[in-house]
């Protein structure tokens, strides 16, 4: 049985990855390490934790002693590091926390792995490593900076991050590669584009728009809405990580994206139209709406769910214009391709939110209310 340390698995992508791995493999054990910040929710993975195949440890990836203890207790074969401060807008407000978690947290895990996995030295003085172990860093396309109207990010594109978040992720990538180059540590990195899907925290564009529509609130679009993101359904990202972790080249960096570029304004309009269509087709969904005005047939009205909810607001500072991934390497080397097209993925995502309003309520009670107020009140 192989043992995985998966950090940040109470968050969006990490929880999807945990569920994917547990359902795909019978013969693995996963230890989740998560600090349960505002973005982590134990309820998301409560049904997965059985203290045999899946064990939960609440703790900080920056904690040196905890990391050593976990390595001693569980003898990990793989580490998949999702844990991070992940929201660009928050990084603009509080950069230091991003540097702390994303850079020093990653370095702390690398060092704990080094202490646990090094078996000796070779004749040139390089450490020798336990066989069949690997550290995988979950990174982002934002490390490459911003594109103009043309071109794509390849693995050779120079790192040119602009936000404190992306600068911290680029730094973490460089530290990971430094451990590979200096100590010959077995590592891989994936750099993925924007994910969407179940358990996405409603500070990010798509779940925020869904939540606001259901609550009859305005839909804040930064600037003129022309910024482009390259959207990938989260399960496709999980499949890519699984492949790279087990079959990727040692020291390999792989871009992950599905050639699904859309302007933010398009995403918002598509989300509005899809919610309205689902509610036309399935009137039961209308019960989720906060506004419960009835029409002449006694049905909850949905005619107000239209583009007039959109409000253009002050732009994000240093807002990257366009991200677009060239996924040729992972396709050709590992046979990965995105299995869920956007039209299908957005329907699955919206249906998940319509059916999981309790989850939304839980994760947005408390701190979220202050966050939303501060972030959007003067925009």
The contact set with ligand NAD (CB under 6 A) reads 7-8, 10-14, 34-37, 39-40, 60-62, 82-86, 101, 105, 138, 140, 169, 192, 194-195, 201
Indicate the residue among 102 and 286 with the shorter CB distance to ligand DAU: 102
205 binds ligand DAU (CB under 6 A): yes
> Per rule CB under 6 A, is residue 229 in the interface with ligand DAU?
yes
- Does 142 sit near ligand DAU (CB under 6 A)? yes
9, 116, 208, 241: which one contacts ligand DAU (CB under 6 A)?
A: 208
CA–CA separation, 153 and 176 (whole Å): 20
Residue 14 contacts which entry, ligand DAU, ligand NAD, none (Cβ below 5-8 A, type-dependent):
ligand NAD
Q: How many residues bind ligand DAU (CB under 6 A)?
A: 19
| Binding partner of 220, given ligand DAU, ligand NAD, none, CB within 5-8 angstroms per partner class | ligand DAU
Q: How far is the CB of 203 from ligand DAU (least distance, A)?
A: 6
Q: In terms of CB distance, is 98 or 179 closer to ligand NAD?
A: 98
* CB-nearer residue toward ligand DAU: 204 or 269: 204
C-beta closer to ligand NAD: residue 234 or 302: 234
Residues serving a catalytic function are: 141-142, 165
Which residue number, 39 or 302, has a Cβ lying nearer to ligand NAD?
39
Binding mask 50-69 for ligand DAU (x = CB under 6 A): --------------------
Q: Which residues bind ligand DAU (CB under 6 A)?
A: 86-88, 140-142, 193-194, 204-205, 208, 220-222, 227, 229, 264, 316, 323
């Amino acid at each position: 049985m192989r043992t995985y340390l998966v950090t940040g698995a109470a968050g969006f992508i990490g929880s999807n990855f945990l569920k994917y791995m547990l359902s795909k493999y019978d013969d693995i054990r996963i230890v989740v390490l998560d600090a349960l910040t505002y973005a982590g929710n134990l309820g998301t993975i409560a049904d997965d934790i059985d203290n045999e195949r899946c064990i939960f440890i609440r703790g900080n990836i920056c904690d040196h002693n905890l990391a050593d203890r976990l390595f001693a207790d569980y003898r990990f074969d793989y580490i998949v590091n999702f844990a991070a401060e992940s929201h660009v807008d928050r990084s603009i407000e509080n950069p230091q926390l991003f540097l702390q978690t994303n850079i020093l947290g990653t370095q702390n895990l690398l060092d704990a792995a080094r202490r646990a996995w090094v078996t000796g030295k070779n004749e040139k003085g390089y450490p020798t490593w336990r066989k069949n172990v690997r550290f995988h860093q979950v990174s982002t396309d934002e490390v490459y900076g911003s594109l103009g109207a043309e071109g794509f990010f390849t693995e050779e594109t120079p790192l040119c991050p602009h936000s404190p978040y992306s600068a911290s992720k680029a730094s973490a990538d460089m530290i990971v590669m430094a451990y590979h180059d200096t100590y010959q540590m077995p590592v891989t990195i994936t750099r993925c584009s924007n994910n969407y899907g179940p358990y996405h925290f409603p500070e990010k564009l798509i779940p925020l728009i869904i939540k606001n529509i259901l609550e009859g609130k305005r839909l804040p679009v930064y600037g003129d809405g022309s910024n482009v993101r390259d959207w990938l359904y989260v399960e496709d990202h999980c499949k890519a990580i699984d492949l790279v972790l087990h079959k990727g080249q040692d020291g390999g960096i792989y871009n992950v994206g599905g050639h699904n570029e859309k302007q933010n304004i398009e995403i918002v309009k598509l989300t509005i139209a899809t919610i309205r269509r689902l509610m036309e087709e399935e009137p039961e969904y209308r019960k989720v709406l906060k506004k419960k005005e009835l029409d002449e047939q006694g049905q909850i009205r949905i005619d107000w769910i239209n583009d007039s909810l959109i409000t253009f607001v002050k732009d994000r500072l240093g807002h990257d214009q366009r991200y677009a991934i060239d996924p040729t390497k992972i396709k050709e080397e590992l046979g990965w391709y995105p299995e869920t097209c956007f039209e299908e993925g957005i329907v699955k995502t919206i249906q998940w939110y319509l059916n999981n309003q309790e989850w939304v309520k839980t994760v947005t009670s408390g701190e979220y209310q202050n966050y939303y107020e501060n972030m959007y009140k003067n925009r």
